[in-house]
Structure 1
Amino acid sequence: MDEFEDEVLQFPQTPKTPWSFGRQTSTSYPSRSEITHSELESRNPSAWNPERGTELLVAAEKGDSDTVRRLLETTSLDADFCSEEDKRTALHRAAGYGHLAVVEILLKAEGNPLVQSAAGRTALHDSCIGGFDRVVKVLVRYMKRGRALDTQDKDGQSACHLAAFHGELDCFNILADKGADCGLHDNLMRTPGHLAAMRNHPSILQSLFYKGINLQVTDSQGRSPIHYAAQHGGLEALVALIQCDCPTTVGDSFGCRPHHYAAAHNHVNCLRLLIKNGCHPEGRDGSGRTPAHMAAQYDGMTCLHWLLEKGINPNIQDDQGYTPLHYAGEAGSAECFNCCLQHDAELSIRNNRDDTALDTAKLAGHPVVIEKALKSELKCRHCLHKYNFLEWEKANQPSQVERGISHAGESAYVSPLPPAQRVASQLERNRQKQQKLSAKKTSQDKKGTKSDVKLPRRDLATKYYGEHVGDIYKLDF
């Protein structure tokens, strides 16, 4: 059992300590907007002493529990003192660095765990960022009122979002078990599942799936977590989402499927996995672009080369008449342009504006670099590697003697019989062997000799040298 389960943390019922002077003593925590710095200073000027307060913040950040306790007991300093720059209290700093003893002291001194910093974050947010699950347990026990666990910062992200983003599974499970909303949306309509897929944390995604959270929910642009995993190259997260039955062919608001994002960001392993699991290599988005178009447009040279090697049409056009060669010229990607030319892309194809790929490159301001790619002065590194390998194989062909030795080794033990007779004879031998075993078993059953006798236990020596070893040395096996 956890060492914190037996401990019951409660707020003081009759606050008569020096640090509670001039503060509200209700069990419902007031927000920072309800009690301002000026009000605290007007009630008790010494409670907002900058010098003492700075000393408290430094001690809390360093984990100096003795100094924190001394300042709170010997002065009337407020436990919620914060710096004017980031508005972070001592509780924020102690929780952010995982100082459990200091956190307990501040909470027992009526430190407010719901106070938000300038970024809108509570101490629970900071402890989840650092992955301090023991601190999270204590803070959660003090924040059972209402939806305090789902407090959102200025980006709309709760503590669950930050725990999922940083891959802190223990903190995430603690929040989920205490009733935090694991499907909460931030300002961009992203859930913790989106952030876990973005940072490639498959354990968080599996935890969400087992808790019944929908992993197909979309953000403000219609993208689900599987789009985020493909975009950011999270191969393990992508595998986890596919295992959780997330569809691979769903499009976002622009019709882009996950393999379009993988090609655009040059994540070839993710692209291969998605095509293997149902994505069509020439699937189009809302503008008619294929993954080859996306790879050429965003300089995804590795993905473009892999697609062209798999037989993708290099002259395929989108709704605007653009081929991958047009997009490579417009982006000024010399290697992608050369890769398309190496795979028989045509320079004469025109788009809807009657521009060739070279015209598009000139209009985009990349005539020089594309001219070098056209003359193969700048080459696709993958095409160059393939060419060098083929040339090496051609130059290092095996001699006639080496070919003869290789052929003799392959045919040295081949039966002289034709293949049909060879298979028939093998089947006949297997049948005869099976008949002999059946006849031997039948004769043993009739005699009742070895089948009814309980054999002695055998050891390693008996196994390899026979049962007579036990008779010679008179050992009991």
Structure 2
Amino acid sequence: MDEDTLKALVKLTQEGHLSSLEERIASGDSAAVQTVSSKHFGRSGDTLLHYAARHGHLDIVDYLIQRVGMDMEVCNNDYKRPLHEAASMGHHACVSYLLREGAKVDSLKKADWTPLMMACTRRNLQLIQDLLNHGADPALRNKDGWTCFHLACREGEPLVVQQLLLTRPDVWRTESKTGRTPLHTAAMHGCEEVVQILLERCGYTPDCTDSCGVTPFMDAARNGHITVARLLLDKHQASPTAVDTVGAQPVHQVAVTGQQEALCFLVRDLNVDVDQRTTGTQLTALHYAAKEGHTSAIKTLLELGADLHVRDSKRRTALHMACIGQHADTVRTLLQMGLRDTEDASGTTAQQLARKADVVRVFECGS
């Protein structure tokens, strides 16, 4: 078969035109059929069976396996099987068919992802139940140490999370290679219902930390998920002043992400010290907000009572940090607020840290 014909076959498969696909393939000789059954296309190395499964065309999947004789375990360049493709796109009918035909339920694609893991990136409970009923192992881990339970908690579908816990009650006892639990994942993504389930049915210790010392409460706060943060406080006795491995508390982490509502929540509702310093470096939330260029967060911190002139262990002010981050608007705002350029412990002024042209111009123009 020539390249134009092969391209036409791919298009017909993707669009689900079974009768036209049959006609094209039947018009060739046995060698042509053999070419179709073993041909890998493009950089991905997909076969017609991959395309059919990805687009959910069950009739074409059946035709290619039963009539053309394609191997249902054929891999593309990422080691994806057709089952991976169908599961990742939530095509339950194709998944059920492939499983009935004997597809390997726990086959691994690149990075050690199973079809169940890929299915858990969707919210198709019936599909996930089918994989579990065919023996899919929910405890398998990919190269990053994630299980399907991490993924289900990230997606935030309570029924899927409950099904996995029903199938394997201890599935929650898992950590990624960086020490992150499914509770971290659910909190980070603001999945309140899932967090509630995890707190009620699983045995996570309060303020469990990942390899960076980050707690689920920190994850919730720094991503602006106030209701989840409150839930962790009320139901899990989380600490709003826990410290990570670099000595930063939630108030510092929230300043990094510029979450103004979370800053107000920590300072006004929980009475966290707005000028709380990190251990060692003595940085405050104001320093972090300035380095990241979060001008609105700086204004919020000042409204909350932050000291504009506070210095860290190197005697740097927020103005130094804004210049380190090369944020012209933040530098301008700090100068307009009355913060003056001074030397740090090494004798370096904020202006001397300015590198980008627009930051340099702020000083040259006197704000």
Q: TM-score range by the shorter chain?
A: 0.7 to 0.9
One-letter amino acid of the counterpart of residue 257, structure 1: T
1:337–1:370: 8 Å Cα contact kept in structure 2?
A: no
Structure 1's 328 and 57: CA in aligned 2 closer, same or farther, altered over 3 A? closer
TM-superposed CA distance for 1:156, in Å, is 2.1
Q: Aligned to 2:160, what secondary structure does the other structure show?
A: helix
Q: How many residues are treated as equivalent by the alignment?
A: 327
Take 1:246 and 1:373, find their aligned partners in 2: how far apart are those partners? Answer: 46
Q: Aligned to 2:110, what secondary structure does the other structure show?
A: coil
Matches within 5 A, 1:346-385: 346-366=307-327, 369-370=330-331, 372=333
Matches within 5 A, 1:30-69: 50-69=3-22
154, 159, 178: which one pairs with 1:198? Answer: 154
1:266–1:302: 8 Å Cα contact kept in structure 2?
A: yes
Matches within 5 A, 1:3-152: 50-75=3-28, 76=30, 77-78=33-34, 79-109=37-67, 110-144=69-103, 148-152=104-108
Asked if 1:299 corresponds to 2:258, the answer is: yes
Asked if 1:326 corresponds to 2:273, the answer is: no
**Equivalent residue for 2:273?**
313
Take 1:84 and 1:371, find their aligned partners in 2: how far apart are those partners? Answer: 51
TM-superposed CA distance for 1:246, in Å, is 4.7
* Structure showing greater Rg: 1
Take 1:344 and 1:333, find their aligned partners in 2: how far apart are those partners? Answer: 17
Q: Aligned to 2:112, what secondary structure does the other structure show?
A: coil
**Equivalent residue for 1:173?**
129
Take 2:18 and 2:326, find their aligned partners in 1: how far apart are those partners? Answer: 63
One-letter amino acid of the counterpart of residue 88, structure 1: D
TM-superposed CA distance for 1:251, in Å, is 0.3
Take 1:340 and 1:214, find their aligned partners in 2: how far apart are those partners? Answer: 41
Q: Aligned to 1:287, what secondary structure does the other structure show?
A: coil
1:91–1:111: 8 Å Cα contact kept in structure 2?
A: yes
1:56–1:71: 8 Å Cα contact kept in structure 2?
A: yes
Take 1:63 and 1:240, find their aligned partners in 2: how far apart are those partners? Answer: 41
**Equivalent residue for 1:157?**
113
One-letter amino acid of the counterpart of residue 257, structure 2: Y
One-letter amino acid of the counterpart of residue 114, structure 1: E
TM-superposed CA distance for 1:216, in Å, is 3.3
One-letter amino acid of the counterpart of residue 321, structure 2: T
Take 1:240 and 1:90, find their aligned partners in 2: how far apart are those partners? Answer: 41
**Equivalent residue for 1:475?**
none
Take 2:252 and 2:41, find their aligned partners in 1: how far apart are those partners? Answer: 52
TM-superposed CA distance for 1:71, in Å, is 4.4
Take 1:374 and 1:230, find their aligned partners in 2: how far apart are those partners? Answer: 37
Gaps of 5+ in 1: 1-47, 378-477
Take 2:40 and 2:325, find their aligned partners in 1: how far apart are those partners? Answer: 53
In the TM superposition, what whole-angstrom CA distance separates every residue of 1:66-100 from its partner, at most 9, and x where no partner exists?
23444455532133433244322221122222222
**Equivalent residue for 2:143?**
187
**Equivalent residue for 2:188?**
231
**Equivalent residue for 1:222?**
179
Take 2:337 and 2:203, find their aligned partners in 1: how far apart are those partners? Answer: 43
Q: Identity of paired residues, percent?
A: 24
Take 1:331 and 1:72, find their aligned partners in 2: how far apart are those partners? Answer: 59
One-letter amino acid of the counterpart of residue 52, structure 2: A
Structure 1's 275 and 373: CA in aligned 2 closer, same or farther, altered over 3 A? farther
Q: Aligned to 2:120, what secondary structure does the other structure show?
A: helix
TM-superposed CA distance for 1:163, in Å, is 0.3
**Equivalent residue for 2:365?**
none
In the TM superposition, what whole-angstrom CA distance separates every residue of 1:198-236 from its partner, at most 9, and x where no partner exists?
222222211111111522311121111111122222223
Structure 1's 51 and 359: CA in aligned 2 closer, same or farther, altered over 3 A? closer
Structure 1's 88 and 372: CA in aligned 2 closer, same or farther, altered over 3 A? same
Take 2:286 and 2:23, find their aligned partners in 1: how far apart are those partners? Answer: 72
Structure 1's 97 and 360: CA in aligned 2 closer, same or farther, altered over 3 A? closer
TM-superposed CA distance for 1:329, in Å, is 2.1
TM-superposed CA distance for 1:142, in Å, is 2.2
One-letter amino acid of the counterpart of residue 220, structure 1: K
TM-superposed CA distance for 1:367, in Å, is 6.7
In the TM superposition, what whole-angstrom CA distance separates every residue of 1:19-63 from its partner, at most 9, and x where no partner exists?
xxxxxxxxxxxxxxxxxxxxxxxxxxxxx6545443433332222
In the TM superposition, what whole-angstrom CA distance separates every residue of 1:315-336 from its partner, at most 9, and x where no partner exists?
2111121111221222222222
TM-superposed CA distance for 1:129, in Å, is 2.2
Take 2:328 and 2:134, find their aligned partners in 1: how far apart are those partners? Answer: 61
